[in-house]
Structure formats: structure tokens, C-alpha cells
Amino acid sequence: MQIICLSRGTFAGGKKLAEALAAKLGSDCLAREELTDAATGAGIPVGKLEMNIVHRRPMSEQLAIEKERYKAFVTATLCERALKNNLVYHGRTGHLVLPGVTHVLRVRAIMDPEQRIQAAMQRLRLEREKARKYIEEVDEDRRRWVRGLYNTDWHDPGSYDIVINLSHINVENAAAGLLSMAQLPEFQATPAALQAVSDLWLAARCRLAIGADQRTGNMDVKVRSDRGLVSATYLPRDASRAGLIPEVLSKIEGIGEVLCTMASTNVLWVQERFDPQGESLDQVLQVAGRWNAAVELVQLKEEGGQEEPAQPRETGEASETGGILDDSVVESDSNLDEGMRKTRERLISAGRAGGYRVLSGGPQELLANIDRTVAYNLVVVGELCVTKGAAVSKRRTQEMVSYLNDSLHMPVIEAADMRSQFMFGPAQLVKLLVFAGLTVLLFILVMTHQEEVLGFISRGTCFFTNCKEVGSSQRILSAAVVVVFVPIFAFCYGGFTRFLFRLLRFG
């Protein structure tokens, strides 16, 4: 199974390239236009959705739910086609609906602006200026569409494995080059990659089933699948209908268990080893409880970080799977290590379970498996590479936090900083009282000496004088005092309010 997703602009030659590549590969060729027509036929208002995103109109609650249905439809279609045969999909950013499928070849086809303008003039019979404006407007619409759906930049070259300028190479040669590239080991399906596609397909089918049922169609539900375990998170307002979800999903093949969790947001917790009795779990549960969040676990076994490498199957399949651990590592819940299994059990008993995954590799593999469309309010990174010693573990953890901070638009912290960042204890109470005392003291000093303060500022006179004029040095001094006093007061008041809000939220 090979999957090639080709992103193309209007009049950039991408369609011809995709068709030529599919012919050489002997694969199915699917265009975005076909997929959009099928989604519309399934009752998803794709046109209305696109108009709202492109024209930046306020999106209603129901339309936001339809957006999730559309993404599930795209994922289900691509996964179903890919599981049957090799697939070349050409559209905008098909690979973004396949998180965790690491063997996808991501291609961006471009062409020099002048050649695109000439093509638009010929095909649409437009004047040059109108053709140029048309291309710019269509590109901008597509950029907004990708940003609105997947929160990423359509033009970012880092989103692709290769960018091909069809102004400098003809379509046949470009297709031949991509065909050779597609044969590289990095783009071959592994057992784990097949499992990832199957999980995405099952989760997408579940989301579509929920959206198609009249009883649950307007529920805002996030669905994940891990080897038959389906995790569905819903909002508190839908708690009365949560029992319908397993009933709606009961007819879908491949489901082993359905776990429903009420959550308003999500917390992603990344760590190499999970301790069900550790302080970090208590803190994450406390934060999740206050935020009404579901906690998604990711056990990241970094290269060189495990005590033992994963053992291959008895049938001889290799354990090296290009990012996700092989089927022999996580075939079922019972095969999870004891810490991960019991941590997940505690999350389930607390009603905060949001799914789990086991990955191998480093920051790039983790980032490739994070679903960018999920709104994580917090990413917690625990200890990594623990078998390499405390110094190496600390460095690797800090590097991971720094890498995720640079790559994600969401807060990322170390698990060790949970207490100082989100908890409220005796130390925070002392700081609250100190900041409160300093704020009150400064406020009283200013309010009980208003006349002197105003005179000092406006006329440049000294305190406790008969308002005699002084020289320019005193005016400079008064300005300097104001410049120093204001940040000090702001710091004290800001510290007081920060700890007060933390007390109100976590006390």
C-alpha cells in the first residue's frame, strides 16, 4: 500500500502530474473535486462550509460540527481507497487528514507565476490582469481553507517531502522521478502503518455514523481508535445523550470496545514510563478535572531510550516500523506495560481517559503523530530516555519541550513544572500573601499622600516642601521615580492576581 498526496494550485500542472504518476504506479487516482462531490452527496454542506471559511464569516455551532464531519469523510475515503490499492490523491493537503501515517509521500506541485497566468488567459479567455488577479484570489482562498480546517500554512515547504516546479521539468519526467522516490524504504507501508490507516478509517467511520444519526447528529464528538478501542469524547451539554453513542456505533465492524468520556478540552501527556502512583498523574488529573479535559497518553520510547528493544514476532516480522511500535508491542490493552495500563485504568475510573498511543522514535515521530486538528489546551512532557541517566533524561526532556514549543501553537511544559505552573500549595499561599501585602502597602502610600504625589509629578517639587520650584534635575528625578514605581506596582499586583486566580481555580 502506497499513498501519495499531491498538493496543487490552480493552473500549476498538478492534476496532469497526479494522473501520470498514478498511471505509472498502477494506482487509483482520486481528485479533490470527486471527493467533494461525494461529500455533498452524503449530505455534508461543503459549499457552505467553504464559503464561510474563505470569506471569514462567523461559523455557527452546527457548521463547526459539519466541518468535523467533512474531515472525517475525507479521512474515511482516503483510508478505504488506500487499504484496497495504491492511491494518488491530488487536491490541497490530503496528508493532513492522515496523522500518524508516516509512509505518505507528500508532494507539492508549483509553477512559475507567469506560466500560470498564461494558462489562465488561454483556458478562461481572460485579459492578463484579470488572469493574474484570478490566480491570486484562488490561491488566497485555498490558503484560508487550509488554515481554517487544519490550522497550518498551505505554502509551508516543511509540510511536504518534495516540492516540484513544473516550469523546469515536464510532467512525464516529474512523474518518473516521483515514482522512483516512492520506491524508497521511507515510503513503504509497514505493519504499523497499515494499523495506523485502519485506526484512522475506523475512527472516521464512527464519527460519520454519529453525524448521520438523527439522535446524535448535532453532538460535537471527537473520536479516536486504537486497535479496536474507540474513544469518544463529548461536551458536558451532551451528557444526557452520551449513552446513545455505543448504540449508534454497535453496527460498525472492527470495534472491540467503546469508551465515552465527557470533556471540554484535551490534555496531551507524553512520557517514556508512566507511574500510576506518581505525583505527576495526580497533578494531571487535578488539572484535567478543573478544566473538564480528557487526557490522551503517548508513551514515547525514544531511540536508545528503552531498556530492551521490541522483540519481533515469531513469524519473523521485524520490530522496526518507522515510528510506531510493531503489532507485537501493542496488540491489545493487556500487552501494555504495567505502568501504562494502570495509568490508563486510573484515567478511565476518573472519567478522564482520552485514548492512548505507543510510539518509538524522537520529536519528529511524535510531531507526525499529533493530530493538529485537535485543540490541546496543554501538552505535558514527562521524563524521556530514563535509562540513560538523570542528566541525559533532563536534557532530552527539555529538548522535546523546546521542539514542541517551536512547532505547536499551544502551551507545552515539563511534568516537573506542573506544580509551580498550575498547582496551589503552601508556597503559593505565601507568595499570594506577600504580593497582596506589597500591593496594599504601595496603594496606601500613594492614596494617603495624593497631594504630595501629584505635586511631585506635575510640578517637579519635592515631598514635604512648600512647593518651591526646583531645577531640571528634580524633574528628571520625578520622571525616573514614576518609571520605576509603575512597573514595581504592576509586578506586585500582577503576582497577586495570578496566584489569586490559581487559588480560585485549584483551591
Which H/E stretch holds residue 162?
Answer: strand 162-165
Distance from C-alpha of 39 to C-alpha of 29, rounded to nearest angstrom? 17
Distance from C-alpha of 165 to C-alpha of 145, rounded to nearest angstrom? 23
Name residue 97's amino acid: V
CB-based burial label for 394 (10 Å; 0-12, 13-18, 19+): middle
- On whether residue 413 sits in a domain, the answer given is yes
| 343 close to 288: Cβ distance less than 8 angstroms | no
> What b/e string do you get for 92-117 counting C-beta neighbours within 10 Å, with b at 16 or more?
bbbbbbbbbbbbbbbbbbbbeeeebb
* CATH assignment at residue 69: 3.40.50.300
DSSP letters of 65-119?
HHHHHHHHHHHHHHHHHHHHS-EEEEES-GGGG-TT-TT-EEEEEE--HHHHHHH
Give residue-wise pLDDT tens across range 345-369. 888 878 788 878 888 888 888 888 8
- Specify whether 43 is located in the same domain as 176: yes
- On whether residue 128 sits in a domain, the answer given is yes
- Specify whether 133 is located in the same domain as 8: yes
Tell me, what's the pLDDT at 150? Answer: 83
Give residue-wise pLDDT tens across range 432-478. 789 889 999 988 988 888 877 777 776 654 444 444 455 566 677 77
Select from 371, 405, 422 the last residue of a domain: 422
- The backbone region for 26, taken as left when phi is positive above 0, alpha when psi lies in -120 to 50, beta otherwise, is left
Identify the residue with better confidence: 62 or 472: 62
- On whether residue 259 sits in a domain, the answer given is no
Main-chain dihedrals φ then ψ at residue 300, nearest 5 degrees: -105, 110
- On whether residue 433 sits in a domain, the answer given is yes
Compute the Cα dihedral for 7, 9, 10, 13 and give only its sign: negative
Distances from the Cα of 236 to the Cαs of 219, 352, 488, in angstroms? 10, 13, 42
CB-based burial label for 120 (10 Å; 0-12, 13-18, 19+): buried
Distances from the Cα of 143 to the Cαs of 107, 154, 172, 209, 273, in angstroms? 16, 6, 28, 30, 40
Give residue-wise pLDDT tens across range 366-424. 888 887 667 788 899 998 988 888 888 899 999 999 988 888 878 899 988 877 766 56
Select from 165, 187, 209 the last residue of a domain: 187
Which residue is listed with cell 470495534? 255
- Specify whether 459 is located in the same domain as 492: yes
Name residue 351's amino acid: G
* 319 has pLDDT over 50: no
- Specify whether 37 is located in the same domain as 144: yes
Give me the domain span that covers residue 364. 265-422
* 318 has pLDDT over 60: no
* 504 has pLDDT over 90: no
Name residue 145's amino acid: W
Tell me, what's the pLDDT at 464? Answer: 44
Distance from C-alpha of 46 to C-alpha of 69, rounded to nearest angstrom? 10
Length of the chain: 507
Select from 422, 450, 478 the last residue of a domain: 422
Question: Which grid coordinates are listed for 459?
Answer: 510640578
* 213 has pLDDT over 60: yes
- pLDDT bracket for residue 326 (50, 70, 90): very low
- Specify whether 114 is located in the same domain as 36: yes
> Structurally, how many domains does the chain consist of?
3
Return mean pLDDT, the chain: 84
Main-chain dihedrals φ then ψ at residue 329, nearest 5 degrees: -85, -45
Give residue-wise pLDDT tens across range 116-164. 999 999 999 999 999 999 999 999 999 999 888 887 888 888 889 999 9
* 308 has pLDDT over 50: no
- pLDDT bracket for residue 321 (50, 70, 90): very low
- Specify whether 402 is located in the same domain as 453: no
Name residue 93's amino acid: T
Tell me, what's the pLDDT at 455? Answer: 74
* CATH assignment at residue 304: 3.40.50.620
Q: Which stretches of 448-471 are DSSP H helices?
A: 450-458
For helices 128-150 and 113-124, what crossing angle results, to 10°? 110
Tell me, what's the pLDDT at 471? Answer: 56
Give residue-wise pLDDT tens across range 257-305. 899 988 878 899 999 999 998 888 988 888 888 778 889 899 988 654 4
| 310 close to 329: Cβ distance less than 8 angstroms | yes
DSSP letters of 22-49?
HHHHT-EEEEHHHHHHHHHHTT--HHHH
- On whether residue 246 sits in a domain, the answer given is no
Tell me, what's the pLDDT at 373? Answer: 66
Tell me, what's the pLDDT at 266? Answer: 86
- Beta bridge partners of residue 110, listed in sequence order: 165
- Specify whether 406 is located in the same domain as 444: no
The mean pLDDT value for 312-331 works out to: 35
Distance from C-alpha of 96 to C-alpha of 494, rounded to nearest angstrom? 40
Distance from C-alpha of 456 to C-alpha of 478, rounded to nearest angstrom? 6
Tell me, what's the pLDDT at 16? Answer: 95
Distances from the Cα of 442 to the Cαs of 44, 234, 447, 507, in angstroms? 60, 48, 9, 27
pTM: 0.68
DSSP letters of 262-323?
E-SEEEEEEESS--TTSHHHHHHHHHHHHHTEEEEEEEEE-TTTSSSPPPPPTT---S--TT
Tell me, what's the pLDDT at 179? Answer: 95
| 270 close to 382: Cβ distance less than 8 angstroms | yes
* 35 has pLDDT over 50: yes
Tell me, what's the pLDDT at 422? Answer: 66
Q: How many helices (H) and strands (E) are present in the chain, helices listed first?
A: 17, 13
- On whether residue 409 sits in a domain, the answer given is yes
- On whether residue 319 sits in a domain, the answer given is yes
- pLDDT bracket for residue 95 (50, 70, 90): confident
CB-based burial label for 456 (10 Å; 0-12, 13-18, 19+): buried
Q: Give percent above pLDDT 90 in the chain.
A: 42
